[in-house]
Amino acid sequence: MTDMTRPDFHGINMPSKPLFSRAGWAAMLVAAVLLCVVVPVLNLWLPADHALHVSDFMVGLLGKILTYAICALAIGMIWGQAGILSLGHGLFFALGGYVMGMYLMRQIGADGVYGSALPDFMVFLGWTELPWYWALSHSFVATLLLVVLVPGALAFVFGYLAFRSRITGVYFSIITQALTLAAMLLFFRNETGFGGNNGFTDFRRILGFPLATAEMRVILFALSGITLLGCVLLARWLLLSKFGRVLYAIRDSESRVMFCGYNPLPYKLSIWVISAAMCGVAGALYVPQVGIINPSEMSPANSIEMAIWAAVGGRASLIGPIVGAFVVNGAKSVLTVSFPEFWLFFLGALFIVVTLFMPNGLAGVAHQAWAKLRRVRA
Amino acid sequence: MSPDLLDLGAKRLQEARARAQTPPGGSGGRATGYAHPLQAGVVDVSHGRILYLEGVTVSFDGFRALNNLNLDIAPGELRCIIGPNGAGKTTLMDVITGKTRPDSGTVYFGSTIDLLRHSEPQIAGMGIGRKFQKPTVFEHLTVFENLELALACHKGVWASMRFRLKAEQRDRLAQVLHTIELSPQCHALAGSLSHGQKQWLEIGMLLMQEPKLLLLDEPVAGMTDAETERTAELLTQLKRHHSLIVVEHDMGFVRSICSKVTVLCEGALLAEGTLDEVQANERVIEVYLGR
C-alpha cells in the first residue's frame, strides 16, 4: 500500500466511447442508401419484368415490417436494458396509428360516401359535429406532435403509477396486457368516436397528395426506414450514456442504485415513455401504408407478437430486435400464404425454441459464432 | 448599509470561516465557546465529535433493541463495535442511517445536524455511507462503471444522459481504484471479482461519495486471511480521512485495526476502551466472551 497522494493511472485512460465504430457508421450509411436510393430506384425505374425489379407488393411489405422493426427496437430497449417486459406496446402503436388515422380521415374531406365534411362513420351514427377531441385532427403539424404526445402521455401516467408502486416483473407485464385489452374494448364502442370495430379506412390523401400511388408508397417506405435508423441512433445514444448504465444497474439491483443516491423512478419512467413514443411513431407510419386502423391492433395477441420479435432477434442488442422483426414477419408472410392454418403453431414453437435454446436470440447466436471464429483464428 | 460596513462584515465572515476550517481537534484548534458562523451543509465538528448519540431507545413490540444508548465518535476515529448476536449492532446502524426511528433519544451528526429530522437519502447525501454485510455491486457493469455510478454528482435523468467524466473526477476515480487496489481489474466485470475484491469495490463505491462517516457491517466476513489483512490495511489508511464505525466478530481483525472498542449488550453500552481493556473487563467476559 502506497500513499494516496500519488495515484496510479494504469488503465484508467478511458476515452469516451464513440456512438458507433467506423464499421458501425458505414453500416448505417449503407442501410440509409439502401432504403432511400436503391429500393426506390429498383421499384420505380426498373421495368416490372427486370430481374432486379422490386415489386410494389414487396415495397409495401417491407415498409410495414420496417414500422414493426421500430416497435421491436422499442421493446428490446426496455426489456433488454432495463428489464421491463411490456406486453402492451401494441396499444401505443395503435394510438399513434389512430392519431394519424384521424388526420387521414379529415383529409378525405367531402369525398366520402355521404359527401359530408364529417367522417362517414359519424354521419352514419347521426352526429352533426366533430367531438372535441377531433379538434386538432385537421392540422398535420399537430398530428405529428400528438403521434408522440398521446402514447407518451398515457405511458407516463401508467408508468408513473406502476413504477411508483414498485410493480415489476411478471405483474407489470400482466397489467400492460390488461391495459391494452381495456383500450381495445373501449375503442370497439361506436360512442367512443373512433369508428368502432371498423376503425378508420378508405383514406384518400396525405398533405393533399394522393396516397395510393407508387411514389407515395416509396416515400412512406423510405420515411419508415429513416425513422428506424433515427430510433437506432437515439437508443444507442441513450444506452451508451451513463443513463443507460444506471438502467442496467437498476436491473441488477434497484435498492443498491437508490443507495448510490439515484431515484430509479424517473429513470424507468423516461425509458418507458421514450419507448412508448417510438411505438406511436411506428404506428403513425404504419397506418398510411396499410390504409386501415382498427381496434384489433390493440388485441393482446398483437402485443405478445411484438415481444416475440424482440426475443427471437435477441433483446440484449439493438440490432437483434430489428432482425427478429424481419425474420418473424418474413416467415409470417410466406407461411400464411402457403400454410395459413399452421402459422400460430409455428409462432408458438419458435418462441419455445428461442427461449430454451437461444436465450439471447439470433443476435446471441451470431455473437457466439463470431467469438468462436476469432478464437479459432487466434 | 454603507459600503465600508459591508466590506467590514465580509472581512469578518472570511476570518470566521478561516477559523472554522482549522483542523479539528479537541475543540477545533481554538478556545471553546468562541463564536463561529454556522454554514449550511457543512458538518460542524468544532466540538470534537462527528457523531453523537444520547439516550437512544428503540423497541420492537416491547423488545428493546437499543436501551438508553450513549455513543460518540471523534473525527478521524476508527471505532469497532462488538457484542453478541441481538446486542443491537445492526439496529444502531439503522438508527444512524435513518432506516429506523428511535422511540426516544437524540442523534447528532456534528454539533448541528439532527439526524432524526432527515430521511434516509438525505442522510446518505450528507456524507454517511453504509456498507451492508453482503457485498452488493452491479455485477453486469465493470469496476470502473460501478465506481462511476457511485460518483458524487447530479443524479437526475438529464444530467446522466449528458454526463461526461471530468478530469478531476477521473483523478478521484483513479485514486479510489488505487486505494482499493483494483486498478488492474478496472475494466473487468464486477461479477468476475473474488468475494474480497467485491467487498473492496463496495468500499470504493462508498468512498466515491466522499463520505465523512463510514459504517461497515462485518467487512471481513467470508474473506481469506490474506484478504482480511489487506482490508485491515485499507481501513487503517481510510481512518486518516474519514471516521469509521466497524461492526465485526473477528477479534484478530479488530485487534489489527482498532484503537477503541465499544461492547454492546442487550442494546446498552457494556464497556468501552482498548481491546485489551474490554477483554479484561469482568462483565464483558461474563456476557460475551463466555466462561
The predicted-structure confidence for B82-112, as pLDDT tens digits, reads as follows 888 778 888 899 899 888 899 999 999 988 8
Query: Averaged over A57-78, what is the pLDDT?
Result: 95
Asked whether the predicted pLDDT for residue A338 surpasses 90, the reply is: no
Asked whether the predicted pLDDT for residue B70 surpasses 80, the reply is: yes
- The string of pLDDT tens digits covering residues A14-64 is 555 778 888 889 999 999 999 988 999 888 888 888 888 888 899 999 999
Cell numbers representing residue B24 in the block: 479539528
Is A159 exposed, middle or buried, given 0-12, 13-18 or 19+ CB atoms closer than 10 A? buried
Cell numbers representing residue B253 in the block: 481483525
Cell numbers representing residue A164 in the block: 411508483
The CATH fold of domain B44-289: Rossmann fold (3.40.50)
Grid cell 459504517 in the structure block, residue: B215
Amino acid letter for position B46: S
Helix-then-strand count for chain A, H and E = 15, 4
Average per-residue pLDDT in chain A? 90
Residue contacts between A and B (CB atoms, under 8 Å): 101
Rounded to 5°, angle at Cα B148 from B147 and B151:
90
Chain A residues whose C-beta is within 8 A of a chain B C-beta are 1-2, 4, 7-12, 14, 16, 238, 241-243, 245-246, 248-249, 251-253, 255-263, 266-267, 270
Asked whether the predicted pLDDT for residue A1 surpasses 50, the reply is: no
Please give the radius of gyration of chain B, using alpha carbons only, rounded to the nearest integer: 21
B240/A114 Cα distance (integer angstroms):
86
Supply the pLDDT for residue B99: 86
Q: Which of A16, A240, A260, A360 to mutate to test the interface with B (most CBs of B within 10 A)?
A: A260
pTM: 0.83
Cell numbers representing residue A136 in the block: 386538432
Band (A10; pLDDT cuts 50, 70, 90): very low
Strand B78-82 and strand B243-247: the pairing is: parallel
Cβ within 8 Å, pair A246-B121: no
Is there a contact between B82 and B288 (Cβ–Cβ < 8 Å)? Answer: yes
Is there a contact between A365 and A358 (Cβ–Cβ < 8 Å)? Answer: yes
Please give the radius of gyration of chain A, using alpha carbons only, rounded to the nearest integer: 23
CA distances from A203 to A101, A122, A289, B290 (A): 8, 15, 10, 88
Closest CA to A92 of A310, A301, A304, A279: A279
Closest CA to A120 of A131, A136, A109, A133: A109
Largest interatomic CA distance in chain A: 87
Query: What are the structural domain ranges in chain A?
Result: 55-299
Band (A287; pLDDT cuts 50, 70, 90): very high
Is there a contact between A196 and A190 (Cβ–Cβ < 8 Å)? Answer: yes
d(CA B12, nearest CA chain A) in Å: 34
Asked whether the predicted pLDDT for residue A198 surpasses 70, the reply is: yes
The 10 Å Cβ neighbour count of residue A213 is 11
Closest CA to A306 of A199, A173, A187: A173
